[in-house]
Chains A and B, each alone.
Chain A
Amino acid sequence: MSLGLQAVETSLPLLLRGALVTIEVTAMALVLGAVAGLLGGLARVSPVMPLRRLAAAYVSVIRGTPFIVQLFFVYYAFPQLGIRVAPMVAAVGCLAVYSGAYQTEIVRGAIESIERGQMEAARSLGLTAAQAMRYVVLPQAFLRMLPPLGNEFVALTKNSALVSLVTVQELLLSAQLVISATFQNFAIYLTIGIMYYIMTTVVSTGTQLLERRLKVYV
């Protein structure tokens, strides 16, 4: 019985190209999502009430609806309003917004976990609230964010497979194209499973290393 090693070998360049797209989509969404998470988290702890409300609504709506519905809404429903969104843009944008909501809560939680005395000590020295946040609270909060952010980045990497549904030819869609030509389900899904596992391991190991490097003062 052939499990399709031959098919893996011949389709490997195509699969690797798909993996590269997965990495691109994930990396862009990760950076944009982190920006959204930082801004969202700061808004969540801001003294300005409308900002707090806005950020809370963002988190609530995005976390309260399935990612796939958000993605289809942007890709299929926006054109009805005359807004056509390219697959790659929809993919990266939706992943970033989705991950940003979770990162918002991570950032907020980490900021709130820093003892109040830190802010008070900084303010008592004459630092403005923004300076105290920038130089005293955020650097400490960042270290506490890293473990949950690592989880979130892994989740984001895996969620990127869903953008195959809007025709972005990343790893999963590449695999499905190969399978439709070769019918080698076992070998191809096993192969991309291993590829995903390698990617998520790199991501989680990377955040762990960063955490260890930054932890010098604890």
Chain B
Amino acid sequence: MTLPGNDTPIIEVRGLKKAFGDHEVLRGVDLSIARGEVVAIIGPSGSGKSTLLRCMNLLEQPTAGEIRFEGQRINDPSVDVNRVRMRMGMVFQLFNLFPHLTVLHNVTLAQEKVLGMDRAEAEERARALLAKVGLAWKENAYPNSLSGGQKQRVAIARALAMKPAVMLFDEPTSALDPEMVQEVLTTMDELANEGMTMAVVTHEMGFARRAANRIVFVDEGLIVEEASPEVFFSRPSNERVRQFLAKIPR
């Protein structure tokens, strides 16, 4: 068994394939994410980038290949997937806040039930995180009274409450009104600056350019380009990337 050292990637994906019925969404993906790295995963709709992210914490079960988390293979029946997931935060496109719980309780639930913390301790951490995302004043509100941007910031606080080793973002701003996108991106920028390891599926090229260490371009179930933001945006080697970049506003 390999012991995770500082040079062991936090997430390592090898030969990942995922099919839904006859439809092969991922056709052999290799990707490694180092500690402290911010990786932006971009690509056209239906390319498989969300599925790739969802395989990393096993919300989707890979059809073939392996996923390693801190050196340990996790797509294996003997692995307790809950113990892995509690160390990987996930932020969803549609927020998926728990509507029946207040903002504060959204952030304390998993701390209490998964980490076994007592309520006071969990609330203290939750309040600190809500303050960090600028929503301390909303702790007693229910999610349905929040704007989209506020919901997503609560969702980020909820994931951070578990002190994850890595944060997975699945198109976190795609469901937001344009004027709300920035507040969420600002929160994500801060996280990146603090050294959080992040994998971000996004259409926000501005964020990818300024916050990512590396950009991964997925097309038709394969990673077709992997480059630093400078190289990716100025002189991509792949023709498919050039077409994609030509079509989006910058």
Give A residues with C-beta under 8 Å from B.
Answer: 115, 117-118, 120-128, 131, 135-136, 139-140, 143, 216-218
Return the contact of A121 from the options B86, B96, B144, B162 (Cβ within 8 A).
B96
Q: Is the CB of B85 within 8 A of A126?
A: yes
Taking a contact as CB atoms under 8 Å apart, the answer to whether B82 and A126 are in contact is yes
The prevalent SS among residues of A at the interface is: helix
Q: Interface readout for B36-68 with A: 1 if CB under 8 Å, 0 if not?
A: 000000000000000000000101000000000
| Chain B stretch 126-144: residues in CB contact (< 8 A) with chain A | 142-144
Interface contact B159-A136, CB-CB below 8 Å: no
Contacts of A218 in B (CB 8 A): 99, 144
Closest to A116 in B: B96
A124 CA / B144 CA spacing, docked (Å)? 21
B59 and A140 contact, CB distance less than 8 A: no
**Are A125 and B142 interface neighbours, CB within 8 A?**
no
Interface size class of B (residues with CB under 8 A): 20 to 34
- Say if the beta carbon of B233 comes within 8 Å of chain A: no
Instruction: Say yes or no: is B94 at the interface (Cβ < 8 Å to chain A).
Output: yes
Q: Is B185 an interface residue (CB 8 A)?
A: no
Contact status A124-B59, CB under 8 Å: yes
Asked whether A124 lies within 8 Å of B82 as measured between CB atoms, the reply is: no
Closest 9 CB pairs of A and B: A126-B86, A121-B96, A125-B110, A117-B96, A124-B90, A217-B142, A126-B114, A126-B85, A126-B82
Cβ–Cβ contact A121 & B142, under 8 A: no
**Contacting pair A123 B59 (CB below 8 A):** yes
**Besides the contacts A122-B98, A217-B144, what 6 more A-B pairs have beta carbons closer than 8 Å?**
A124-B59, A125-B110, A125-B162, A126-B82, A126-B87, A139-B100
User: What separation, in Å, do the CA atoms of A154 and B96 have in the docked complex?
Assistant: 35
Chain B residues proximal to chain A, CB less than 8 Å = 57, 59, 82-83, 85-90, 92, 94, 96-101, 109-110, 113-114, 142-144, 155, 158-159, 162
State how many angstroms separate the Cβ of B111 from the closest Cβ of chain A. 9
A120–B97 CA distance with the chains assembled, in angstroms: 11
Closest to A120 in B: B59
- Closest residue of chain B to A118 (Cβ to Cβ) is B96
Q: Once the chains bind, are B99 and A127 in contact (CB under 8 Å)?
A: no
Whose C-beta in chain A lies nearest to the C-beta of B111?
A: A125
B39 to chain A, nearest CB (A): 18
Given contacts A117-B92, A216-B142, contact A125 B59 (CB under 8 A): no
| Closest partner residue, chain B, to A128 (CB atom) | B82
Contact B85 A125 (CB under 8 A): yes
Q: How far is the CA of A188 from the CA of B91 in the complex (A)?
A: 65
Q: How many angstroms from the CA of A183 to the CA of B226 in the assembled complex? A: 92
Q: Which of B57, B96, B113, B144 is in CB contact (< 8 Å) with A135? A: B113
Nearest opposing residue in chain A for B101, CB measure: A217
Q: What residue of chain A has the Cβ atom nearest to residue B105's Cβ?
A: A135
Assembly CA distance A140 to B143 (angstroms): 13
Residue of A nearest to B102 (CB): A217
Give the distance to chain B from A122, nearest Cβ to Cβ, in Å. 8
Q: Is the CB of A131 within 8 A of B96?
A: no
CA A178 – CA B113 in complex, angstroms? Answer: 59
Complex Cα gap A29–B142 (Å): 36
Contacts of A127 in B (CB 8 A): 82, 109-110, 113-114
Please report the C-alpha to C-alpha distance between residue A143 and residue B101 in the assembled complex, in whole angstroms. Answer: 13
